[in-house]
């Protein structure tokens, strides 16, 4: 992903994203662009949601909160390092909860799993990367957060 910047590469990644995660990820339109998470915002009370909601659960007034691109930066709230992985995942990997600018605390795999390099409160940025392999060994992509300093 870092060596190949062609637009077709972006299309390929699009096809590799887990179908359950696809509605939540906006890939960059140009090779130099950044990915974003797609959430939603209630037009009545202004609340943000990720993943997007069908109805605003706060006020029940907006039955189709509008899609919004969320900030692609975050701060690490907590994490753990997985050594006994679920099927398809390659241990060790780190996974945690990230605070994003819209005031949401979200679950996310992390790129860095060296305990010495992970710190609560560290600045992170969103990337789209391989998260696991399916039953046939095919790479499945999703979103991850990566330390800004690396």
Site for other proteins, rule CB under 8 A:
18, 20-21, 24, 50-51, 57, 77-87, 89, 93, 95-97, 99, 103-109, 115, 120, 131-132, 140, 142
CB of 26 to other proteins, least distance (A): 15
Residues 6+ apart with CB under 8 A from 136: none
Give the single-character DSSP code of 63.
S
Q: 145 is in the binding site of which of Zn ion, other proteins, none (Cβ under 5 to 8 A by kind)?
A: none
Least spacing, CB of residue 88 vs other proteins, in Å: 8
- For 145, phi then psi, to 5°, come to -110, 145
Q: How far is residue 100's CA from residue 102's CA, in Å, rounded to a whole number? A: 6
CB of 37 to other proteins, least distance (A): 9
Token pair for 132 = 């696991």
Instruction: Report in angstroms how near the CB of residue 133 gets to Zn ion at its nearest.
Output: 39
Whether 118 contacts 94, CB under 8 Å: yes
The pair phi, psi for residue 66, each rounded to 5°, is -70, 140
Residues making contact with Zn ion (CB under 5 A): 42, 44-45, 56, 58-59
Residue 60 binds: one of other proteins, Zn ion, none (C-beta under 5 to 8 A by kind) = none
Q: Give the one entry of Zn ion, other proteins, none that residue 16 binds, where binding means its C-beta sits below a cut-off of 5 to 8 angstroms depending on kind.
A: none
Which residue is it, tokens 């690396």? 150
């Amino acid at each position: 992903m870092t060596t190949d910047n062609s637009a077709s590469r972006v299309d390929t990644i699009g096809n590799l994203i887990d179908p359950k995660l696809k509605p939540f990820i906006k890939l960059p339109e140009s090779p130099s662009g950044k990915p974003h998470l797609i959430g939603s915002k209630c037009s009545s009370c202004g609340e943000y949601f990720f993943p997007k909601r069908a109805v605003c659960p706060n006020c029940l007034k907006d039955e189709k909160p509008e899609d919004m691109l969320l900030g692609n930066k975050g701060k690490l709230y907590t994490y753990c390092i997985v050594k006994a992985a679920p099927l398809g995942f390659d241990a060790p990997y780190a996974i945690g909860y990230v605070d994003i600018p819209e005031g949401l605390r979200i679950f996310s795999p992390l790129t860095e799993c060296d305990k010495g390099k992970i710190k609560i409160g560290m600045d992170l940025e969103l990337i789209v990367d391989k998260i696991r392999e399916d039953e046939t060994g095919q790479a499945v992509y999703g979103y991850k957060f990566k330390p800004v300093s690396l």
